[in-house]
């Protein structure tokens, strides 16, 4: 395994016009989200990415941390400048693009846990975090942070060993990071272009959604929760839950816990 990411190889594998064409590569950062925020504010072009081999303060959703040691994983943040209407679809596009990349670079069949965790079996292999920088109703930029456990031995990390896995563990051999990254970025650009053209982007996401049909509790930021059966998902990524009293509720963001084992 190459210790450092081969940026020339990455560019060779990219089929994009703008996504991944401007790259900031660091050996170690606190979080790629902060570096990308600085670069976006300083005028980085749309599609710019910040990649690090290690994050010392990797951020997860809902205020959690993201275990980010060196060891052949991918930690990167992509700068986009969508409209307000397009914003909510980014959390659909990103896990779908990563799922497609995993399917095309391994023989694995990932599933998506609502809203945007990518799973192999019931273990998490990728997480997505979207930070939005708004001025009033105007989107300055959206930062899509993606962490993929590619070649990490998750068993070495007590905090994730029960819930996470890596592509290498599941596939049984080392996986080329440049290929996974380039394929994911190729799909992100293709889906983002479709989004900008007003076309549907959620079909593949919904097909892979593992949460549908399950009895779930969705904890929403702030502590509120909704419980019931996840009966459907809207094209913009919202989950539709049928409560025990038969009423339906639409949940736009939150964290799913399975209630039926």
Residues that bind ligand BTN (CB under 6 A): 31-33, 55, 58-61, 64, 66, 75-77, 117, 127-129, 145-147
- Structure letter (DSSP) for residue 110: -
Q: Give me the residue whose beta carbon is nearest to ligand BTN.
A: 127
Q: CB–CB of 180/86 below 8 Å?
A: no
Quick one: 12 or 28, whose CB is closer to ligand BTN? 28
Q: How many CB atoms lie within 10 A of CB 173?
A: 8
Quick one: 78 or 195, whose CB is closer to ligand BTN? 78
Shortest Å distance, C-beta 137 to ligand BTN: 26
Shortest Å distance, C-beta 199 to ligand BTN: 27
Quick one: 129 or 175, whose CB is closer to ligand BTN? 129
Shortest Å distance, C-beta 193 to ligand BTN: 23
Shortest Å distance, C-beta 132 to ligand BTN: 14
Quick one: 36 or 229, whose CB is closer to ligand BTN? 36
Cα–Cα distance between 226 and 182 in angstroms, integer?
Answer: 37
Quick one: 113 or 168, whose CB is closer to ligand BTN? 113
Question: What stretches of 79-202 show up as alpha helix (H) in DSSP?
Answer: 84-87, 90-105, 167-171, 177-196
Instruction: Tell the residue number behind the tokens 């401007």, with chain if given.
Output: 22
| Inter-CA distances, 208 with 97, 159, 163, Å | 12, 27, 19
| Inter-CA distances, 45 with 38, 120, 153, 164, 261, Å | 12, 33, 35, 33, 45
Shortest Å distance, C-beta 52 to ligand BTN: 8
């Amino acid at each position: 395994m190459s210790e450092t990411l081969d940026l020339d190889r990455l560019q060779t594998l990219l089929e994009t016009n703008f996504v991944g064409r401007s790259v900031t590569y660091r050996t170690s950062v606190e979080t790629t989200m902060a570096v990308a925020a600085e670069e976006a504010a300083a005028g980085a072009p749309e599609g710019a990415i910040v990649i690090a081999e290690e994050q010392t303060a990797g951020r997860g959703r809902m205020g959690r941390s993201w275990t980010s040691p060196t060891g052949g994983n991918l930690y990167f943040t992509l700068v986009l400048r969508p409209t307000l209407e397009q914003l909510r679809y980014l959390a659909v596009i990103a896990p779908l693009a990563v799922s497609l990349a995993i399917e095309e670079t391994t023989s694995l069949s990932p599933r998506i846990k609502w809203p945007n965790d990518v799973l192999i079996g019931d273990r998490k292999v990728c997480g997505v975090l979207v930070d939005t920088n708004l001025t009033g109703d105007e989107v300055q930029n959206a930062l899509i942070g993606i962490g993929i456990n590619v070649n990490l031995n998750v068993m070495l990390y007590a905090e994730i060993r029960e819930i996470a896995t890596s592509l290498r563990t599941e596939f049984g051999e080392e996986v080329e990071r440049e290929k996974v990254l380039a394929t994911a970025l190729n799909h992100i650009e293709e889906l983002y272009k479709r989004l900008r053209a007003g076309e549907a982007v959620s079909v593949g996401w919904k097909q892979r959604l593992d949460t549908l049909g399950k009895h779930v509790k969705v904890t929403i930021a702030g502590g509120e929760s909704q419980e019931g059966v996840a009966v459907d998902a809207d094209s913009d990524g919202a989950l539709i839950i049928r409560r025990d009293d038969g009423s339906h509720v639409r949940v736009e963001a939150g964290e799913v816990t399975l209630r039926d084992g």
